[in-house]
Each structure stands twice: as structure tokens, then as C-alpha cells.
Structure 1
Amino acid sequence: MKKAVFSIIFICLAFFAKAQELNFTVIINSDRARIQNTTVFSTMKTSFEQFLNGRSWTTDEFRPEERIQGNLLITINDVPQVGIYNATVQVQVVRPVYGTNYETLIFNFADRNWNFDYIESQPLEFNRFNFLNNISSLLGYYAHIALGMDYDTFEKEGGQQFFEIANDIVNNAQQSGRPGWVQSPTDRRNRYWLINDIYSSPVYAPIREANYLYHRQGLDILLTEPEKAYENMLEAVRLVAEANKAQPNGILTITFMDAKGDEISKVFKGASLEIRTELVELLLEVDPNNARKYNELLKS
């Protein structure tokens, strides 16, 4: 009997020693759907969260407090027939800043065109090399984007292995003919172009380096080495500006600024006037629509 108890304890300890990597919250807004049976969305939420959070996506060990935090905000725009949904998705990923209680937004992306078939209680499986359905592929894709973005902030190009898998998912999903997976000249803010710019385009390689400089060599040391941190974070913005000059208004540039724009306008208030002056010049090139917000930095 004692052996059985110890065996159960050992199995439980082994389970908790290798926690899953993701801790995503799925939020479903069905106000536009105009259907009477809204309980399906509760089931959908549970199913999607279990898919993202209930499996191991890597061979690395994560303690519970190290799990990557994120939100998947799904807006159901239309239900053309029972079991078929048209939706938009907002994906957000955050990361803790070393030595603080602060969490920084590292990825913020709006996926505007997702349609999928969902039947309650249907199992959701994932296969990197096969398109099984448009739910598993999309969720698996953003799971690996989240992992890649997080790892990139801790090590230069540390997320490459996860971006490779996301690229495989896109290649396999193209056979489905579903929107968002193809090289559309009229829709450059979709899943295809996002992973293309992250994984395959040398033009945007500086932005991946910027993610590392800004977070690991910037925010993580801001309390202990502020001058060095501000220099590194400024260099990160220089790299983003470099990529934007080579290819203006690229999806990865926009995604970086969507995640970091508000934070930059607040964090740099403690920097020297010299750094703030150059920073604002760069920001006005990359993100001129938010000129008023950035110009406030010169008044601090």
C-alpha cells in the first residue's frame, strides 16, 4: 500500500516538474453572432484553452511561474450556419521583466480573417506536418509564434526552432484554401506574411535582434544599469527603423510598434535628453501616426 502511495506521489511530482509552457486565457466575444444557444462558446473557450495550455510544446522544463502568459481574444463576427464561424483574433503575449513585478507586452497581433468549423466535444489534435483542421492549425501556429517571440527576448534568435514549426504549419495549411494562410497581395497582415517576415525575410532580421536588445539587454537591467539599458533600448529602436527604411510599413515593424509604442513613450522618460531626442526622431520615422505621444518625451 505504501509503495502504491509513493508511486502516485512520484508520478505527481514528475508531472509538476515538467509543467506546460503556455498559460493563455481565451476570451470569446459572441455579441455579434446573434444566436440563441451561447453555451457553445463556453465549451469552445475551455476546449481552446486546454489545447494551448494542456500539452507540452517543447522539450524544455518550465516551472509553473515560468509559463508564458498570453491572451487570445476571439470576436465571432458571423455564424453563417450551425457549426461554422467567422471570426477575428487578437493575440497578445507578455513576459516578466527581471527583478520586478512588471510584465511587458512582447507581441500584439490582429488576425482579421479566421473561419472554422466547430462541433462541441470534438477532440483537437495537433500535427506539425499535417493540416487536420483550421482550429488546430491556427492555435498551434500562435502557440509557436508565442514561444518564438518569448525565446527571442532571452537569446538572440532564440526562437528560431519555433518559427520553423510555425512556417511548416503555414505551408501545410495552404492546401485548405482557407483565408489567412496564403500569399495574398491584397492582405499583407495575415499568418503567411507574419511568419514569412519573421522566419524567411533577411530585411526584418534586425527586428528580431531588437527584441533581444530591448528586453534582455534593456528592460531586464534598467533598474541596475539604467544608462546601459537605455543605450541598448535605443539601439533596438534604431534596428527597427533600419528595417522600416528597407521595407516601409512591414507587418513585423507594425507588430513591434503595436506591442512597444505605449511602453517606450513611458519608459524613456527617465533617459537623458540626448537619448530621448534621437529616440523621438526614429519613432517619428517608424510610427508617425503617434507623433503627439512621442513628442511628449521631449517635454519631460
Structure 2
Amino acid sequence: MHKKALSLLIILCVSALYNYATAQEIRANVSVVANQISGATDKRIFNTLQSALTEFINGRKWSDDGFTTAERIDCNFMLNINQDLGSNMYRASLTVQATRPVYNSGYLTSILNTMDANVAFKYVEFQPLEFSENRVAGNDAMVSNLTATVAFYVYIVLGLDYDSFSPRGGDNFFKKAQNIVNNAPDGKDISGWKAFEGTNNRYWLQDNLLNARFSRFHDVVYQYHRNGLDVMYDDMIKGRAAILNCLNLMQAIYQDNPNNILLQMFFRSKADELQKIYSKAPPQEKARAVEILSQIDVPNAARYQALKTAK
């Protein structure tokens, strides 16, 4: 091989290895919506914030693992600003959605679909968005609360994704989310980080994900994806049976704690998918799935019951 060609090949290989080792984990589509804000507020600031959040999420390295561009996790982060509190402070809701590819198919399955209604923050146009795991609260709690909240959900997404590929694979990320909760910003307009503020907030999400009482949930996430969805292309019957086993595990979780936040989170992501999976199942298998789903996912019970008459 010519020396120039060999040198170019070496450079390309080194570059590829570098890109593999440094590629970020998240590929997020970020939108900041401010339709409810009227009056003198300059809407341009929200476009600037959208760009800043996009760079904050997509440009940051969130783990020590190497990701190729194709392996990045696809997400949607929508910050819906519903109140201008004055002095560059706002109240918003944050919707986070994330997907995972299913082996041997072009199908993307939802691993998270959640909405956090309690995000208060301060943002001055063009101010840098900063976050440190060692100093979560920062100098200004209202400034730090936005990046702390976004980082919290990035770690939840990473944890669920890793859980879906290996048993308890996401624990390290759930612990990072716990660290954010333990060191979260504090202030009169800030909520969602404390146990006494509700039963369905950031505190309880990370608590349940790391609570040994709900360890079976991690078995569900892994088995549902690796033993269920990932084998369906080659063996639909085997994959569907694995998912039915997951429903049995979730029924046990439900019987232990009917209002468990993890089950609520799971079914917000999977209800449509489960309905499609069992719409074509044999009658006996379908009946068992409908029986369990109607009990443990009450908000969607009517949809599951309709499967009984589906052909």
C-alpha cells in the first residue's frame, strides 16, 4: 500500500475510534412552547432557550461508555411554558419521550412517555446552561432547577434503556438521578424533589427504581424487551409468551402496591403496543392478557376489554 494511502487509512481509523469513544448518548429533539405566554414577553428568548437546551442535552457526555451515532437514544423533550412569573422566571411542564429499536425490525418501542407538570426555573437569554453532579443546586436555585430536572430525566432515560438490554443494567444511571434528588435546588417555587410534595414526582420515581421492594420491575423491563420484543421477528409465539410472563410479574407488583409509580410509567409507554401485540393472540392467551391488563392498568381497561371481540 502507498505510504500516503496507509497514512490516510490510519487517520480514518483513529478518527473512527475517537468518534466511537466520544459520541454522545442522547439524540434529542427539543421544543420550547410558549403559546400560553402573552403580553410584553419577548418570544425570541424561548427560541434561544430551545437551542441552548438542545446543545445541553445532545452535546453533553452523560456516561463513560462509547456510543456510535447509530446507537444514540432517540428522545423528545418538550418544555411547555405556561406562566411568566416575572424577573425572568417561568413555570412549565416538561414532557419526555424516548424510544428503543427492536432487533431485526425497523420498529421503535417506547421506553418512556412522561409529563412533569412542576418545572419552575429562571432563564436570562444567552446565559449558559450549567450542570454539575457535584454541585446540583448551583448559586441560584431557580437557574439550576431547569438543568437539574432535565439531567434527572436524561438519567432516567439512560437507565431504562440500559435495563432493557441487560439485567439491572441501568442502576448506575438511576443512582445518578438519586444524587440529583438528594442535592436538588430548593426554593418556594420549586417542587417535585421531596417525598412529602406528592406521590407521583421525581423523588418517588427514583426511590421506586432503586427500592429492592420493586426489583421485579427491572426484570420486567429486561424480559419484555430482550426475551419478548427482540425475538418476535423470529418467533412471535415465544416473544408473546415472554411478554405474558412479564404481565404476571407486574400483577405481583400491583398486588403489593396498586398505586406504584413504575407501573403507571410503564403503561403510559406500552398500552398501545400491548393492545396490538395481543389483538392477534390465540383466544386463551388473549383472555389471560386482557384479564391481567384490565386489573393492573385500569385507565386503559376498556381498550383491553375490547380485544375480546377483536378478530
> With structure 1 as the length reference, what TM-score do the two structures score?
0.92
* Alignment match, 2:147: 136
Partner of 1:226: 236
Task: After TM superposition, list the pairs within 5 Å mapping 1:61-140 onto structure 2.
Answer: 61-131=66-136, 132=138, 133-140=144-151
Letter in 1 for 2:195: Q
Q: Which of these residues, 251, 265, 280, is aligned with residue 261 of structure 2?
A: 251
2:24 is aligned to 20
- The corresponding residue for 2:157 is 146
Alpha-carbon shift at residue 175 of structure 1 (Å)? 4.6
The answer for the alignment partner of 2:45 in structure 1 is 40
Deviation at 1:12, TM superposition (A): 5.0
SS in structure 2 of the partner of residue 237 of structure 1? helix
Contact 1:77–1:87 (Cα < 8 Å) also in 2: yes
Counterparts of 1:60 and 1:125 in 2: how far apart (Å)? Answer: 22
1: CA distance between counterparts of 2:12 and 2:53? 29
Instruction: Give percent identity, aligned residues only.
Output: 33
The code of the aligned residue for 1:228 comes to: K
Structure 1 equivalent of residue 141 of structure 2: none
Shift of 1:13: 3.9
Are 2:207 and 1:196 equivalent residues in the alignment? yes
**Partner Cα distance (2:247, 2:13) in 1:** 48
Number of residues paired by the alignment? Answer: 295
Of residues 187, 192, 196, the one that matches 1:184 is 196
Q: CA deviation at 1:11?
A: 7.4
| Equivalent position of 1:264 in the other structure | 274
- Equivalent residue number for residue 210 of structure 1: 220
Q: What secondary structure sits across from 1:216 in the alignment?
A: helix
1:287 counterpart letter in structure 2: D
CA distance in structure 2 between the aligned counterparts of 1:145 and 1:238, rounded to whole angstroms = 24
1:59 paired residue among 61, 64, 70: 64
* Alpha-carbon distance, 1:297 to partner: 2.0
The alpha carbon displacement at 1:129 in A equals 2.3
Task: Measure, in 2, the Cα distance between the counterparts of 1:217 and 1:148.
Answer: 18
Per-residue deviation, residues 1-47 of structure 1 (Å, max 9, x unmatched) = x9xx9798677545422311000111121011114411111111111
In 2, distance between residues paired with 1:220 and 1:10?
A: 31
Alpha carbons 2:224, 2:246 under 8 Å: kept: yes
Q: Which moved more, 1:80-89 or 1:8-17?
A: 8-17
Question: How far apart are 1:123 and its partner, in Å?
Answer: 1.6
Q: Which deviates further from its counterpart, 29-38 or 74-83?
A: 29-38
Q: CA deviation at 1:276?
A: 1.1
Q: Distance in 2 between matches of 1:239 and 1:23?
A: 32
- Find out whether 1:171 has 2:176 as its counterpart: no
Aligned to 1:158: 169
Whole-Å separation in 2 of the counterparts to 1:166 and 1:78: 27
Contact map agreement 2:294 2:302 (CA 8 A) in 1: no
Which whole-Å CA distance do the structure 2 matches of 1:176 and 1:17 have between them?
A: 41
Gaps of 5+ in 1: none
- Aligned in 2, Cα 1:63/1:51: closer, same or farther, shift over 3 Å? same
Amino acid at match of 2:48: T
2:174–2:209: 8 Å Cα contact kept in structure 1?
yes
- Tell me the TM-score normalised to structure 2 length: 0.89
User: In the alignment, what sits opposite 1:288?
Assistant: 298
Q: How far apart are residue 73 of structure 1 and its match?
A: 1.4
Q: Distance in 1 between matches of 2:228 and 2:242?
A: 6
